[in-house]
Structure 1
Amino acid sequence: MLPTSHYDKAKADRAVKFIENLCHTKGKWAGKRFWLLPWQEQLIRDIFGIVKPDGYRQFRTAFVEICKKVGKSELAAAVALYLLYADNEPSAEVYGAAADRQQASIVFDVARQMVEMSPALLKRSKLMTATKRIVNYGNSGYYQVLSAEVGGKHGFSVSGLVFDEIHTQPNRQLYDVLTKGSSDARQNPLHFIITTAGTDRHSIAYELHTKAVDILEGRRVDPTFYPVVYGLKDDEDWEDEANWYKVNPSLGYTVDIERLRDAYREAKQNPADEVTFKWLRLNMWVSSTVAWIPDAIFMKGNEEIDLAALEGRDCYGGLDLSSTGDITALVLMFPPRNEDEKYILLPFFWVPEETIPQRVKAASVPYDIWERQGYLLSTEGNVIHYDFIEKFINDLAEKYHIVEIAVDRWNATQMIQNLEGDGFTMVPFGQGFASMSGPTKDFYRLLMEGKIIHGGHPVLRWMAGNVVVDTDPAGNIKVTKAKSKEKIDGIVAAIMALDRCIRNQTEPQGSVYDERGLLVF
């Protein structure tokens, strides 16, 4: 909070009184006064009551991340109506935005019903249901639902914005258009963002989530940003009912504990239901699929790597060759030399340079940023140049003693033959259950124990969050590219590299291939 800001009780009371004169529109509360719950009242009092010396609000952006079924739409609608009718803003322009017009209309329809149930508001309003607009004749202002398309929105003069479920935004364009510059002509704008957690950690929603958490935990300061996050962290116990109350401030009011217990019992029986329970009921950031590697588990290996200390050491490679237009991944795995050491993982990734802008646009994944930061390498043109990668691997061999490189046995490319000609031991590696299950389970176990160090490499972290596993009736597992939502090449390469590490550590007298035979190309 700014040192010169202060709490204006009269302004806070005014906002609370306005909202509590509205009526609920849904369920058993329909038609009843909108008495704010404690957490809601605190939020409203802070946003509208904390002001700068000039009397204008301190907060320009309020970010509220909270579970489903807590009265989110009703609160968002009430805020939109206050900004339209009671904020003393001439010619107010209040906009409702979401991933699409239908989603944005949810809050609008609640607001429209609230106006219809308020004779004082209705007599000075025009409700335009077809165009999703509420006009306030008193100040020549309006509340308007926007479509998701960005074009044509640069000319707005936003006095108020209610952004619903920002986690569903495919990119940050709509958010940027409506919040950066569109409110410059207004003295007292407010961007009210209310959402549940999402599934994409490379989204504008997660960016805002991270900012909110950083402010709450004292790592960042922004006096114009009001953060509210009701959600469990990855390392908190999702099965503890005390934590359910912690992140469900409406539990016991709009949310029934028995309903939550029923959902929990279903979650214990089905991994997909577990994901849904964590996401919607506990407001946790999870993958939309049944993710194999939770981010908290992966990040146990986020320790700094001393590259100089690795020079000359034995290591084992996993090479996942792409088609000519896709990602190629190489992982070097350095085995521990004693019981006190951990495995050290060095990943390298290549993409065709000309495909990067298209990848960013299509998937909203920051390939361009990773390339600038050096975490992703590019080869000229729109296809992978294997000769470039071959030279890179030979250069790596000048630094590290690469004992073996495991490679998918179906990728019998000229590059593999060239590497063999350069003196590398290339080990064919199948991608089925028989070959993958053992090292895949070992990889997860070592991540769980914090015994694989990777330095938090962002490309590998993203890939870890994409991994989905297949299971056969015997309980064998393998990672599957077909079902994973995005690229996982680095994880596949890491598992193959780990396999070679473990086999050479546990079988110093010979190779596993002495017994089962060599799988030829």
Structure 2
Amino acid sequence: MLSVERHYRDLQAAHKRGFYFSPAHAWHCINFVQGWFVHTTGPLGGKPIVLDGWQLFWTAALIGWREIDTNLRRFRTGYEEVARKNGKSTWMAPIGTYLWMMDGEEGAQVYTIATTRAQAMPVFKPAFANVKRWVRKSPRLAKSIKIFEGANQEKMVLFGEFGESVYEPLAANAESLDGKNPYVVLVDELHAHKDREVWDVMISALGARLHPLINAITTAGFILDGICVEIRTYLVKVLRGEVIDDRMFGVIYTIDEGDDPYDPDTWVKANPSLGSAKTYTYMQEQATRAKVLPSARANFLTKDLNVFVGDALSWFDMTVWDKGGKKFDRDMLKGRRCFGGLDLASTRDITAFVLLFPPADGDEDGDWYVLVWCWVPEAKLQGDQDAGSDYKAWSKKGWLTVTEGDVTDYDPVKEVIEQAVQDYDVQEIAFDTWNSTHLANQLLENDVPMVKLPQNFGGLSPGAKHIERLVYSRRLRHSANPLLRWCAGNVTLLIDSNENIKPDKKRSQGRIDPIVAMCMAATRVMVHLDSENDQLFVPV
């Protein structure tokens, strides 16, 4: 553990640089946390917080190291990286409260910051709930602390001899941060910050204080070129002694390069509270899913093992995809309930229309069927072919329709959709308003049930996750459509910091239009059928 090694090196030599370790200061904070704070949620709700060993070390090091000349805290920047569900928010909230109330700073301004105010609340809420409890029980304390409640209004004010000290959650934007004079800034989930703007604003604002602190609390994430990886990389150099920075402190809990992520013996490296705040049962469940689902694997590595991975990954194992290739007769689906997705090409790309059929009513373990229609303009066949494609062969075998001209003619698309509505019980057809509005309006005039659906994370993630579950549970029947298979093999999956996923057209290796249309249809299935039949959603 690099942080522990550095701590012991400093115990021997830091006095030469003007610092010493004060057990009294460390225990003052630890006793405050364990003596006054209780858990506010879950099975431990109402019981005193007892810090685990790793939390004791972090608290002692952050608070205990002091300047010899002034007795002020040594560290100005902190970075704590630990996997989710290890109790970092429950523990960091009391630390923020201690620095707000007990650190001797008049007019202290303590802020928890995240990309949105709502995401800043998990670190603030445990402090808020505990302080409210104290105020209710102590009339004397009630005279010194004012609690502000209400949606998006929560904050606490401590009245001191020379001014007010504030503890408040904030969104990481210029408007909310403007004019602040922070003493302590607790930045939650730094991995979600796409750039260093907020970090730099806070660093600049902290300059007016004698011993300020900015501390990041985060799991790993998917942004490899952001501020989080930058700070992390710098911290590692400091901990190794490659860079001397006596104002920087941090701890990183992660598995080592080369470790087997599915070996339970390695999990504790990223999960120091494994067995207490986080259970082996939970980890085993996540590992089981990660072995099957690519998106779950990425989340398991980042959120449960604290490994940064890129935000793009190949989606389908084609050997698994091929398991759904058994042929079926389209006529068997006549009159069956289904949901559509329409992805229109702008010029020479593939236009795709997909119908997705849930299992028949009452068949909770049944297969899902997909029908696909695709079009390209004639000019597409004359020009350079996309890598791995075989448009001419697909068109001859009926998997692809070629329209005359340089761009796709939408009239045949309209005819197919109108005929599909006659042949099948089409509940809805999802379309993206970009480039599709004119055709959608024409179809709406003919009573085709068109529904707007943006091709962003909100529009595609629910359906993409469902398609993924169907493919890897061998329940998506696609009749070995070679064009659809080619597109499935091209897909690069994009993941955001909230664990949403979507197929990414820009990063994929080739065309993926029918896959996108299928995800759109699946999203509408989930929205439409969730309340009707929970069993339609495939467990993994």
Bucket of the pairwise TM-score, normalised by the shorter protein = 0.5 to 0.7
Q: Which residue of 2 aligns with 1:148?
A: 172
Contact kept? 1:154, 1:177, Cα under 8 Å: no
Aligned residues: 329
Superposition TM-score, scaled by structure 1 size: 0.58
Q: Work out the CA distance in 1 between the residues paired with 2:243 and 2:259.
A: 23
Q: Work out the CA distance in 2 between the residues paired with 1:244 and 1:77.
A: 25
- Offset of residue 116 of structure 1: 2.2
The amino acid of 2:94's aligned partner reads A
Q: Which residue of 2 aligns with 1:132?
A: 154
Equivalent residues in 2 for 1:100-111 (5 A)? 100-111=116-127
Contact kept? 2:80, 2:250, Cα under 8 Å: yes
Contact kept? 2:312, 2:492, Cα under 8 Å: no
Q: Work out the CA distance in 1 between the residues paired with 2:492 and 2:280.
A: 39
Contact kept? 1:272, 1:289, Cα under 8 Å: no
Q: Which residue of 2 aligns with 1:249?
A: 272
Q: Which residue of 2 aligns with 1:89?
A: 105
Equivalent residues in 2 for 1:50-89 (5 A)? 50-53=65-68, 54-89=70-105
Q: Work out the CA distance in 2 between the residues paired with 1:199 and 1:479.
A: 21
Q: Give the direction of change, closer, same or farther, for the CA distance of 1:57–1:434 in structure 2 (3 Å limit).
A: farther
Contact kept? 1:74, 1:107, Cα under 8 Å: yes
SS of the equivalent of 1:237 reads: coil
Contact kept? 1:154, 1:182, Cα under 8 Å: no
The amino acid of 2:194's aligned partner reads P
> For 1:430, which of 386, 389, 405 is the aligned residue?
386
What is the CA deviation profile of residues 405-433 of structure 1, one whole-angstrom value per residue up to 9, with x for unaligned ones?
Answer: xxxx96999xxxxxxxxxxxxxx553235
Q: Work out the CA distance in 2 between the residues paired with 1:39 and 1:73.
A: 14
Q: Work out the CA distance in 2 between the residues paired with 1:59 and 1:487.
A: 43
Q: Work out the CA distance in 1 between the residues paired with 2:66 and 2:259.
A: 35
What is the CA deviation profile of residues 326-359 of structure 1, one whole-angstrom value per residue up to 9, with x for unaligned ones?
Answer: xxxxxxxxxxxxxxxxxxxxxxxxxxxxxxxxxx
Equivalent residues in 2 for 1:179-218 (5 A)? 179=203, 181-218=204-241
Q: Which residue of 2 aligns with 1:274?
A: 297
Determine if the alignment matches structure 1 residue 23 to structure 2 residue 45.
no
Contact kept? 1:67, 1:280, Cα under 8 Å: yes
Q: Give the direction of change, closer, same or farther, for the CA distance of 1:155–1:240 in structure 2 (3 Å limit).
A: same
The amino acid of 1:35's aligned partner reads V
What is the CA deviation profile of residues 170-194 of structure 1, one whole-angstrom value per residue up to 9, with x for unaligned ones?
Answer: 3221221112x21122111111210
Q: Work out the CA distance in 2 between the residues paired with 1:199 and 1:136.
A: 38
SS of the equivalent of 2:216 reads: strand
Which runs of 5 or more residues in structure 1 are unaligned? 294-322, 324-408, 414-427, 436-469, 493-521
What is the CA deviation profile of residues 66-118 of structure 1, one whole-angstrom value per residue up to 9, with x for unaligned ones?
Answer: 11111111112111101111010011111111010111122222211111233
Determine if the alignment matches structure 1 residue 44 to structure 2 residue 67.
no
What is the CA deviation profile of residues 218-254 of structure 1, one whole-angstrom value per residue up to 9, with x for unaligned ones?
Answer: 4333211112111225543211211101111000111
SS of the equivalent of 1:184 reads: helix
> For 1:172, which of 163, 171, 196 is the aligned residue?
196
Determine if the alignment matches structure 1 residue 160 to structure 2 residue 180.
no
What is the CA deviation profile of residues 105-157 of structure 1, one whole-angstrom value per residue up to 9, with x for unaligned ones?
Answer: 22222211111233465553111023221011246211122233213634322
SS of the equivalent of 1:287 reads: coil
- Offset of residue 479 of structure 1: 3.6
Equivalent residues in 2 for 1:490-501 (5 A)? none
What is the CA deviation profile of residues 3-23 of structure 1, one whole-angstrom value per residue up to 9, with x for unaligned ones?
Answer: 331101111111111111211
The amino acid of 1:16's aligned partner reads I
Q: Give the direction of change, closer, same or farther, for the CA distance of 1:122–1:243 in structure 2 (3 Å limit).
A: farther
What is the CA deviation profile of residues 180-214 of structure 1, one whole-angstrom value per residue up to 9, with x for unaligned ones?
Answer: x2112211111121011110111111211222223
Determine if the alignment matches structure 1 residue 240 to structure 2 residue 244.
no
Q: Work out the CA distance in 2 between the residues paired with 1:13 and 1:162.
A: 21
The amino acid of 1:112's aligned partner reads F
Q: Work out the CA distance in 2 between the residues paired with 1:261 and 1:189.
A: 41
Q: Work out the CA distance in 1 between the residues paired with 2:31 and 2:274.
A: 24
SS of the equivalent of 2:110 reads: strand
Q: Which residue of 2 aligns with 1:327?
A: none
Q: Work out the CA distance in 1 between the residues paired with 2:124 and 2:142.
A: 15
Contact kept? 2:26, 2:60, Cα under 8 Å: yes
Q: Work out the CA distance in 2 between the residues paired with 1:196 and 1:223.
A: 24
SS of the equivalent of 2:78 reads: strand
What is the CA deviation profile of residues 13-62 of structure 1, one whole-angstrom value per residue up to 9, with x for unaligned ones?
Answer: 11111111211112121111111110001000000001111211111011
Q: Give the direction of change, closer, same or farther, for the CA distance of 1:122–1:42 in structure 2 (3 Å limit).
A: farther
Q: Which residue of 2 aligns with 1:8?
A: 22
The amino acid of 1:159's aligned partner reads Y
The amino acid of 2:32's aligned partner reads F
SS of the equivalent of 2:71 reads: coil
Q: Give the direction of change, closer, same or farther, for the CA distance of 1:147–1:284 in structure 2 (3 Å limit).
A: same
The amino acid of 1:133's aligned partner reads K
Q: Which residue of 2 aligns with 1:115?
A: 131
Q: Work out the CA distance in 2 between the residues paired with 1:434 and 1:478.
A: 14
Contact kept? 2:253, 2:306, Cα under 8 Å: yes
Equivalent residues in 2 for 1:300-449 (5 A)? 430-433=386-389
Q: Work out the CA distance in 2 between the residues paired with 1:198 and 1:142.
A: 30
SS of the equivalent of 1:155 reads: coil
Q: Work out the CA distance in 2 between the residues paired with 1:234 and 1:487.
A: 30
- Offset of residue 164 of structure 1: 0.8
SS of the equivalent of 2:106 reads: coil
What is the CA deviation profile of residues 411-468 of structure 1, one whole-angstrom value per residue up to 9, with x for unaligned ones?
Answer: 999xxxxxxxxxxxxxx55323569xxxxxxxxxxxxxxxxxxxxxxxxxxxxxxxxx
Q: Bigger CA drift: 42-51 or 125-134?
A: 125-134
CA RMSD of aligned residues (A): 3.1
The amino acid of 1:8's aligned partner reads S
- Offset of residue 280 of structure 1: 1.3
Q: Work out the CA distance in 2 between the residues paired with 1:159 and 1:17.
A: 22
Contact kept? 1:167, 1:206, Cα under 8 Å: yes
The amino acid of 1:146's aligned partner reads L
Contact kept? 1:433, 1:478, Cα under 8 Å: no
Q: Work out the CA distance in 2 between the residues paired with 1:203 and 1:486.
A: 22
Which runs of 5 or more residues in structure 2 are unaligned? 1-9, 317-345, 347-378, 392-467, 472-477, 494-501, 511-540
What is the CA deviation profile of residues 382-417 of structure 1, one whole-angstrom value per residue up to 9, with x for unaligned ones?
Answer: xxxxxxxxxxxxxxxxxxxxxxxxxxx96999xxxx
Q: Work out the CA distance in 2 between the residues paired with 1:45 and 1:291.
A: 43
